[in-house]
């Protein structure tokens, strides 16, 4: 049974995947990022040592699952294990982008459910709670037997598009699975909803076949949880243009941007691609074509709510949503 010390305190530590985001979160919280020694053995094994006492503290470890994904995950597991063995009061994993989220079910025989395996690894390592943003499937929360605070970047993206004063707009879901997300976004603007019928013949491959809804003479906003190679998004943009959409904007939370995705997107017919800094953009990009918004303030507010045992859902009610 874990016990809190009388001097209960909040501590924030960063993994190596996105230290810039962790710094922004800590700045919003008014605290310093904790010190960690992080090295590798010659064979690639990761070594972690926390350089200050964490005994009895509410610790928040920020680690996003980005390239190299597997190394990011193993590093997070090692950090959680080290915190558990150092008698941290509560171990909270802040995972802006949850790895393997697309492998959340079996579509064919002899396939793994890797999103569940990752959840099990986090629990066995010693995680007490998880804060995560825009899961590929909300049902992944059910893979955990510990509390999960699932936050969304929709308010951040919606606020940005509010400033554009789009009058005749339509929100487009790039597939049937994203309809709920797109519907929530559309309600913020009282815009109609359109849906693209997308099929996946193989991993990292998708074909857009049909459009349900009307985008003619409208400014279309495609809203998704992630952009990987960018190929499907470009195909979606072209279909909307063929259906006489005036302008097409693209918005997504997680900029995975594999391969030459940045170039593909910048050369597309989209007016602008809007993403959030859950994953760092380590490649050069044109800020006039790709706009990066920050989720740091939202994650900091969520951490505060968790630390002071207050409702996280209050952040997403009423006017707070935009």
Rounded CA gap, 14 and 140, in Å? 24
The CA distance from 19 to 301, in Å, is 18
62-83 b/e (C-beta count within 10 Å ≥ 16 → b): bbbbbeeeebbbebbbbbbbbb
| Residue 285 CB neighbour total at 10 angstroms | 20
- Which H helix or E strand runs over 38? strand 36-40
* Distance from C-alpha of 171 to C-alpha of 34, rounded to nearest angstrom: 41
Q: Would you give the distance in Å from CA 43 to the centre of its chain?
A: 31
Spell out where 155-246 has E strands: 169-173, 193-202, 205-212, 219-227
By the 8 A CB rule, do 224 and 195 touch? no
3-state class of 273 per DSSP?
A: strand
Residue with tokens 């996280």: 312
Whether 198 is catalytic = yes
User: What number of CA atoms fall less than 13 Å from residue 162's CA on the CB side?
Assistant: 14
For tokens 């090295």, name the residue: 39
320/322 Cα distance (integer angstroms): 5
Asked if 216 contacts 96 with a C-beta cutoff of 8 angstroms, the reply is no
- Catalytic option among 24, 198, 247, 305: 198
Residues labelled as active-site residues: 198
């Amino acid at each position: 049974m874990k016990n809190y010390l009388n001097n209960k305190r909040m501590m924030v530590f960063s993994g190596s995947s996105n230290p810039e985001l962790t710094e922004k979160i800590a700045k919003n919280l008014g605290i310093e990022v904790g010190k960690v020694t992080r090295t590798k053995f010659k064979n690639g094994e990761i070594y972690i040592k926390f350089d200050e006492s964490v005994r009895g503290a509410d610790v928040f470890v920020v680690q996003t699952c980005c390239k190299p994904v597997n190394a990011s995950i193993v590093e997070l597991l090692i950090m959680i294990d080290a915190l558990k063995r150092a008698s941290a009061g509560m171990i909270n994993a802040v995972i802006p982008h949850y790895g393997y989220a697309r492998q959340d079910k079996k579509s064919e025989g002899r396939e793994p459910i890797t999103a569940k395996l990752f959840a099990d690894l986090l629990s066995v390592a010693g995680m007490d709670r998880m804060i995560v943003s825009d899961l590929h499937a909300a049902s992944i929360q059910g893979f955990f037997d510990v509390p999960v605070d699932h936050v969304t970047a929709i308010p951040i993206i919606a606020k940005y598009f509010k400033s554009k004063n789009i009058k005749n707009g339509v929100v487009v879901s790039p597939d049937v699975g994203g309809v709920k997300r797109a519907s929530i976004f559309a309600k913020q603007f009282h815009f109609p909803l359109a849906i693209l019928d997308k099929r996946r013949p193989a991993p990292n491959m998708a074909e857009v076949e049909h459009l349900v809804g009307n985008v003619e003479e409208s400014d279309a906003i495609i809203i998704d949880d992630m952009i990987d190679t960018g190929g499907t998004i470009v195909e979606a943009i072209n279909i909307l243009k063929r259906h006489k959409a005036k302008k097409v904007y693209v918005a997504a939370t997680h900029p995975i941007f594999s391969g030459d995705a940045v170039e593909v997107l910048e050369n597309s017919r989209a007016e602008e691609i809007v993403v959030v800094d859950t994953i760092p953009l380590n490649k050069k990009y044109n800020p006039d074509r790709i706009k990066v918004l920050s989720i740091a303030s939202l994650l900091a507010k969520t951490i505060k709510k968790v630390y002071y045992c207050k409702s996280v859902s209050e952040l997403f009610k009423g006017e707070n949503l935009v």
